[in-house]
Amino acid sequence: MEATGSQASDAFRSQTASSSATACRGQQFEFGDFLGQVRQKLLSPDSESYRQRQPSSQTLRIDVKRDHGVSVTNRRSCMSLGHMSVSASFPGITGLRQRFAYRWNQVVLRPGDTSSRDLLDDFEDDEPTISAVRIDTTTPSYSISVPMALVSRPDLGSFMHVLNAWTSTAMKSLAGVAGGVPLMQALQALGNPAGGLGMADLPLKLGGVGSIGGFLEESEKSLATHVGLFSLTSAVMFIGSIRGLNKHSTAREGNYMGMVATALGIISVLASPGFHGAHLRFLLTFLAAGGVGYGVATNVKMEDMPQLVAGFHSFVGLAAVFAGFASYFNPANPYSAMKAIETAVGIAIGSLTFTGSVVAAAKLHELIPGKPIILDNRWLLNGLAVGTSALLSGMFLNPAIFASSGGTAILLANTALWGFLGVNMVIPIGGADMPVVVSLLNAFSGLATSAAGFMLSNDLLTISGALIASSGTLLSDIMCRGINRSMYNVLLGGFGVDSGSASAAAAAPGRTRQDVREVSAVGFVGMLFAAKKVVIVPGYGLAVARCQQKLAEIVALLRKHNVIVHFAIHPVAGRMPGHMNVLLAEADIPYDIVKEMEDINADMSSYDVGIVVGANDIVNPATQDDPTSPIYGMPAIEIWKCKQCVVLKRSMGTGYSGVDNPLFYLENVKMLFGDAKQSMDNIHSCLEDSQDRLAAGSAANFSADQAAGGENAEPETFPEASKVIGVLRERAPGEARVSLAPSAVVKLRRMGFSLLLEAGAGSAAGFQDEDYTKHGGVQVAESAVEVLKQADIVFKVSEPLLNEVQLLQGTQTMVGFWNMYGTQELLDALQQSSASVVNLALVPRVSRAQKLDALTSMANIAGYRAVLDAFNRFPRFSRAGSTAFGSVPPAKVFVIGAGVAGLSAIATAHSLGCKVYANDVRDAAREQVESMGAEFIAVDAQGIAGEGAGGYATVMGEDFTRRQLATYARVVPDMDVIITTAMIPNRAAPELLTAEMIDTMKKGSVIVDLAAQTGGNCVYTEQDKTVVSPNGITVIGETNYPSMMAAQASEMLGSNFTALLEVLGGGSNFGGEHWDDPIVKPAVVAQGGRVVWDPNPPRPPAPAPAPDASGVGGFGGASPTPVPPPEEANEIIKWIQEHKDELAMGVGAATILGLGIAVDIPEAELTHMGYFVLSCLIGHFTVAGVTPALHTPLISVTNAISGIIVVGGMLQLSGPLISARVGCALAAVFLSSVNIVGGFAVTARMLEMFREDTKPKSVQDKTPGSRASSSHA
């Protein structure tokens, strides 16, 4: 028979105060009923069990088992509770079983405690402060077997007393083990149980330390030693991580060391005493945040790196705020004035860092205007905020307020005040001063981390924060020196005005575009032909235009023909320290041809051509020879010392300083006006078309023996082909292009490809089969079927035909170029094929993908040909002129849509002498249109934007569309030629020219609809047809203008297709992980038997539109000029600047002396202060050695290191999940984990871009000398 039940008796309590100062209380397990049942039903001669027993089964077995246990501990107490089962049986006979509940309490006594009983009562009456909760799922047990032959019937009563004592003690020992207490210590603490059997008589003895308190104390001491070692190692490795960035060759190792150091810091908390209950919380939060950080780091564009860094700074600041609140909500932290001060200061710095970083990121991303925004009574507001904060902090130091809900309210108010100060600190600073701001915020994030270290008494946070603070401070000083301004002047804000300001005009009265010497792209290329040494000065305009990739290709062409090319980098050329170096590295420019300003200025006169791209103030001669200039004394790159200089600019606008640049008017300087990207495309095309001339110019500069050696050079050897490329003949009506021109064959063979060409594939474009086969490695197939069966990769110009798709195999890849609108039948067919199909028209518009951007290549041709076709049909002159008949006005051309095709049409029409007008729903296009000499026609829709995500046009609302059509109805009647290019990705083209509008146009006018392929913008458009409206307007719906320039278009397409193969790994490493490349993945239409194309891909956020001139509240229009400080204040500031070193030493000494006299600072706080000061010094000397080219990776890696503030959140994770403390701790862990993973990932990504020049040094060394000797001869 088996009996079950539950019993928890408190009839008996025992407590002791042992010599080790430990008080314990446990519930006795009263077994009267259970053991009475054992005696009655198992041992009594009258029981059925007694009669059933055989001689061999005369042994009674007692089992005590703990079913489950939960322990709750802190530094002074331990409580264990759960359930246990006790069973009694004879072999082969059904026994008895009963279940009991238990609770075990222990409190360590300290001097001054009145009695152990009071402490135990307090423990039960009050909720204990929990530092750790542990659930033990093991089921330990004890058992005893007693031969009944040894127990005579008269002794049965005494035996039951012994059995009761043993069972009770076994249960108590198991309860103690659940709380981490060995059996012998549990027995010693509990003392003798009721029933009278002494401990020495029990058959259970185990070893251990002398007491529970001693056991826990020794364990914590041992573990704390290892934890401290981890923290110290982590801090030292952080120093090594920054040290690794001193040079390119060790930068990657430095980043890896930072990762290991951060891991050690986290492990030091995971392994610390009392953290065992929070592992799952931490790991889940860290993994989720890490995924977010890694995703952001791997997808951010390098042009947007300053915004990312500022955003990560804000995460550190907010994490510091949450960590501070979590620490404040921790009831285990007793009040002290020092802790209260540290909490208030730490949260204040974190709040300022957070809001200041958010504003900086918004300014950099143009969500807030980049110009200075100065609030009325700015300094009064700042003073009131600081004064109110001081008052609130004083109230917070009151112990009664600190411990009440009023303390929370004060902290929240103080957080809001310092958040306002962060906004008001950054918002008055202009966009060009952002390098200083980003560096300064880097320092603030370090201070926030150190403040958390003081607040939580954590040396690792104090040390790492100090390193980051010193790094940010030093970089801020470098940036200030780079612009010859003090930190005070930068923080004052309001420096400079916009390029169209009155100050700019006053700086150069009477000077206009007619006063400078202009040069065309062809003329500029002619200058490069004769150059031996070229230096390029990039500015932030290069990043804005995103043309660094095309610039890198130009540099590669020049260096290929032995032209020495160097880049000169100014410290403030980008929007953060070292930003320009990262952009050039992304374009695959070797870092050893990129020189710092101070290294190259001395040799500037030796360069034949200097090129300025997107820079202004940093190349202004007024910095050195005009004492009246606001930027006088600012270090500048002395580009004017070159023999010739070409400046690429949109217009004559000034730089951030608002002063005119005398460089533009010098005798040796020429201006190349226009959009930088468009100009780069034109220069690159001219250079490629004239490579023979460039090579001839290069060869003429070599000595005779070098030339003779070139004649005897052996033919080039190519690697063995790993893949076969098939080139099909195009079968679409009117298609004359071919996917690969003969000029690309050599490059493909170098990449490990051979070619299989369908016979006559290039004949329509003017290329014969022999033009391909003469390069070797090319076979000619008689049919498309043969190509499709044998080729690994198939190239096509247009979309795949359905019968071609059916022939494709799973291992093949087909690459084409087509519009995805209206291709559902093709998509259905692709689902039945397992081949990979790529559409180059879907390549994202990012700088790294420029080489693959076939859409831009073809749109450029389309815009050019559209204008020529229009004037071929237009019955009047395009340009103005005077004849015997009289004067002839220029034709008026209206271009709708200022994308690539639109801009090309504008440039062509302008070159024909037309009066050009243009419109685009995107406000960002205005400046591009005006820079090319056209007049921008704005839609008559005040306050309505037409900007889509990522700068793309978007589907407009009814109100905007109505006003847009009204604007066109007003403009169209005066136009002679209209070019429409308005298309929306993957949608039908919007109808913009109605029948009513066309009826108002002059007879003979021409409309060219470049959107005809997706339905057209004109009501009369018919695809691939030319129609005439009832009133005599010619409407052209041609969809394939590039085919009219088949040879040129094929060259461009072949270059795009070849670039795709480079990204996909070349012949030997084709495909695989390269399919996941972010510039390839969006272009994959089908793969593995399914369509993977996303018709609505995510776009990067669009920049905010330019503010209207009538802005309100400081957020639009011209920025108010800051009120200059009074003369007395200027004198004081001047004196402080002259004596700043002495003042710093005096204030520092007075502060230390005052604190030592007036405040009783705990020894631990002095230790932290020492760590902080020493770490600042070490950080300063470590960061000072970092090469300027790696300043952006330095900021990002210190950003990741600042994520070590995760430790502050981890230390607060224990406790109830639904609580303010744990909620704040989880938020701190999440934000800082995003920083850790994102920071290190983006640093690794940047460092992978930096490469050393692979061109032999001997070639570079010989080139100048050989040219010099040739010139001398």
Give the dihedral sign, CA 569/1191/297/316: negative
CA dist 949 and 392 (Å) reads 44
CB 1200 within 8 A of CB 315: no
Of 545, 465, 645, the closest CA to residue 928 belongs to: 545
Q: What is the dihedral of CA 1219, 1225, 1227, 1231, to 10 degrees?
A: 180
Residue 814's SS3 state is strand
Is 471 exposed, middle or buried (CB count within 10 Å of its CB: 0-12, 13-18, 19+)?
Answer: buried
Instruction: Report DSSP state, residue 172.
Output: H
Of 1127, 1122, 1025, 1125, the closest CA to residue 375 belongs to: 1122
Residue 328's SS3 state is helix
Q: Where are the alpha helices (DSSP H) in 1159-1190?
A: 1163-1184
Type of residue at 993: L
Give rounded-to-5 percent helix, strand, coil for the chain: 55, 15, 35
Residue 63's SS3 state is strand
Q: Is residue 815 within a helix (H) or strand (E), and if so which, with residue range?
A: strand 813-816
E strands along 694-752, which residues?
723-727
Active-site positions read 617
E strands along 1063-1193, which residues?
1084-1087, 1090-1091
CA dist 413 and 410 (Å) reads 5
Type of residue at 620: N
CA dist 55 and 148 (Å) reads 10
CB 1236 within 8 A of CB 238: no
Instruction: Report DSSP state, residue 40.
Output: I
Instruction: Report DSSP state, residue 798.
Output: S
CA dist 131 and 104 (Å) reads 17
- Angle at the Cα of 733 (from 729 to 736), degrees rounded to 5? 50
What angle separates helix 248-270 from helix 1191-1202, to the nearest 10 degrees? 0
- Determine how β-strand 723-727 pairs with β-strand 753-758: parallel
Residue-by-residue DSSP string for 840-878: GGG----GGGGGG-HHHHHHHHHHHHHHHHHHHH-SS-S
**Contact residues for 489 (Cβ-Cβ < 8 A; gap 6+):** 495
CA dist 304 and 1246 (Å) reads 13
CB 550 within 8 A of CB 860: no
**Contact residues for 1163 (Cβ-Cβ < 8 A; gap 6+):** none
The tokens describing 1022, both together, are: 């018919």
User: Which residues partner with 70 through β-bridges?
Assistant: 81, 135
Cα diameter, the chain:
149
| C-alpha distances in Å from residue 50, one per residue of 38, 59, 94, 410, 657 | 11, 12, 12, 76, 107
